[in-house]
Amino acid sequence: MSARQQGLNVGVVVGALGVVFGDIGTSPIYTLQTVFNPDDPHPVPVRDELVYGVVSTTFWSVMIIVTVTYILLAMRADNDGEGGIMALITLLRRRAAGQGRRTALMLAGLGIFGASLFFGDSMITPAISVLSAVEGLKVVQPSLGELVVPITAVIIVVLFLVQRRGTEAVGKIFGPIMIAWFLTIGGFGIAGITRHPAILKALSPTYAVEYLAGHFGVAFFSLAAIVLSVTGAEALYADMGHFGRRAIAFGWLWLVLPACTLSYLGQGALILDDPANVAGPFFLLVPSWLRLPLVLLATAATVIAAQAVITGAYSVASQAARLGYLPRLRIAHTSAEQIGQIYVPWINWLLMASVITLVFAFRSSAALAYAYGMAVTGTITITTLMFFYVASKIFRTPRWLLYTGAALLLSVDLLFVAANLTKIVHGAWLPLLIALTSWTVMTTWQKGRAIVTAARRREEGPLREFVDRLRTDPSLTRLVPGTSVFLNRGKETAPLAMRANVEHNHVRHMHVLILSIETQPVPRVPDEERISVDELGYADDGIIHVTVRFGYMDTQNLPAALRLLDPARTEGELELGRASYFLSKIELRRGDAPTMAAWRKRLFIATSYITSDAAEHFGLPRDRTVIMGSHIEV
């Protein structure tokens, strides 16, 4: 266990407040306003008993989903300290090697759909968060309403343009800004409560139960908006590796939860005081002369919320590529100290185009809310299901207790899912479409990659047979001084580039390294486990096989990894500083074999075009890298 997980550091807590809680911490801006939105297809009447019920249900939804499901339960299931749905997928893939293989693989596939829903969340969050903050201008001055969409678009464009600089430079101010944010919304929440102190009764679960049981026809549909109070819950789990469970739990229980609760109670009191306040209860909590500063603070907080989910999208895409669900993507590491701070250009521009499109298509946070809830509830439900399966395998908790907990929590999650399904025609179709598209791309790439790997193995032929041929027929090649490194998928087959070099150029270097890369289902691999050498029985001929292992969050720099080689295992010191690297470039063609549906073949080939340059991805020196081509039919 790392020191970060063992102890509680104030700086780590402040950092977590600035990165982890941006999304869920800005939910009070729009949650109750959306619940009581008169333009909702299933509006909630503004009556006292319903206000108490909505506020109580909101509070207990946060307690059950965030505090219980994520803080108390899910964050106990980590993959070497890392959390999030991709970590659960890797845990399930490990289980697939043993008993329960079919169930584990099915749940891993469901997890990929959950990760796909997160991509939809990554597109919707920046749009709804920034829109909801800028919409405060309409409360300050109604005539400014026409400027909301253009200002939002400008903020979002700037946000995506500065992504390449990374969050390190501005990260130090994120924490203090969010602390100021939570103290502000908590303070004004208290001021609102003083207008109608009876609102504190909503903390009792009896009001939530009475609301759901006594007014189910209204309450059920309102759950599609109430779920907005838990948006960002997945970030608590996904960012656990950066800050540790204790820091996140401490920040949530001692600042974020109290501040959000006070804000919801204050808004409820304000609505009880005057039903007309449902138009903008969050901003109406403050005096008119403070509303513009609050709009500015809210905009800063929502930009931080957007930043967190964008960074999360980079991480999910990167991890998916490492696990074989996406092509190799170009990734820039933006911090020398924090390896998790990455920038993925292709994902960045895709997100920016999508977010801008959503802003201009929906034009208000209320309209986007119908879409937002579907992405959130889907991800939460899948995470809960996967957690309890993993927990049943790795924890010693009695089965009856696990099954009871799973039944209760999944019942709550599925109730929210059902409520959001009623909003399908009002926007909930959007995250489902995004998720289905992402899931199709990722599963198609995984299957196509397996097909290409099998075809490539057949074309490469056995490595030992190829090397034996070189030994028995020296006329095939002549030795040249130096070291050559051939990237290959394993040590069973001959690298295509090596075969082509011998057959066409009739040369090979005195020292040949056949290098394979393994991505382990763990976040990082320590240096002492990075390299392993297999002499293949040809060490005297200068040919050895080297396996380099990386975690799915490691930087895959091959020259740096090869410097860890022990000279005793390589028949002396290699000239790695002047080594030549050989890559096999595969051109994919659509064939007639019934390996996949024709449309999936086209999708697989089209997806391959976003594959990053191998030399750049693996940190290879351009002036010493040779690329040799071949083609394979899918």
* Contacts of 384 by beta carbon, 8 Å cutoff, 6+ apart: 69, 74, 406, 409, 410, 413
pLDDT at 50 over 90: yes
pLDDT band at residue 615 under the 50/70/90 scheme: confident
Q: Is the pLDDT at 420 greater than 60, yes or no?
A: yes
Phi, psi at 553, each rounded to 5°? -115, 5
What is the model's pTM?
0.79
Residue 30 corresponds to which tokens in the numbers above? 């729009």
The conformational region for residue 266 under phi > 0 = left, psi -120 to 50 = alpha, else beta, is: alpha
> Is the pLDDT confidence value at 1 over 50?
no
- The mean pLDDT of the chain is 84
| Statement: residue 5 has pLDDT above 50 | no
What is the model's pLDDT at position 172?
Answer: 61
How much is the pLDDT for 37?
87
Mean pLDDT on 522-549: 80
Q: How confident is the model at residue 357 (pLDDT cuts 50, 70, 90)?
A: very high
Distance CA 530, CA 520 (A): 11
Q: Is residue 23 scored above 90 in pLDDT?
A: no
Task: Give the type of residue at 156.
Answer: I
Give me the pLDDT at residue 95, please: 66
pLDDT confidence of 553, banded at 50, 70, 90? Answer: low
Residue 105 pLDDT: 73
Average pLDDT over residues 170-190: 86
Note the pLDDT tens digit of each residue in 262-282. Answer: 999 999 999 999 999 998 899
Is the pLDDT confidence value at 62 over 70?
Answer: yes
Say what the pLDDT of residue 613 is. 79
pLDDT class for 249, splitting at 50, 70, 90? very high
Q: What percent of the chain has pLDDT over 70?
A: 91
Report the alpha-carbon distance of residue 536 to residue 569 in Å, rounded.
12
Domains and CATH numbers, the chain: 3-427 (1.20.1740.10), 454-633 (no CATH)
Q: Tell me what the mean pLDDT of segment 123-146 comes to.
A: 86
pLDDT tens across 73-82, in order? Answer: 998 887 777 7
Q: 366-413 pLDDT, tens per residue? A: 888 878 888 889 989 999 999 998 888 878 788 889 999 999 999 999
DSSP helix/strand/coil, 167 = coil
Mean pLDDT of 279-302: 90
Tell me the mean pLDDT in the region 214-231.
93
Least confident of 218-232, 327-341, 450-464, 561-575: 327-341
What is the spatial distance between Cα 299 and Cα 449, in angstroms, rounded to a whole number?
Answer: 43
At 4 the pLDDT is 40
Cβ(579)–Cβ(624) below 8 Å: yes
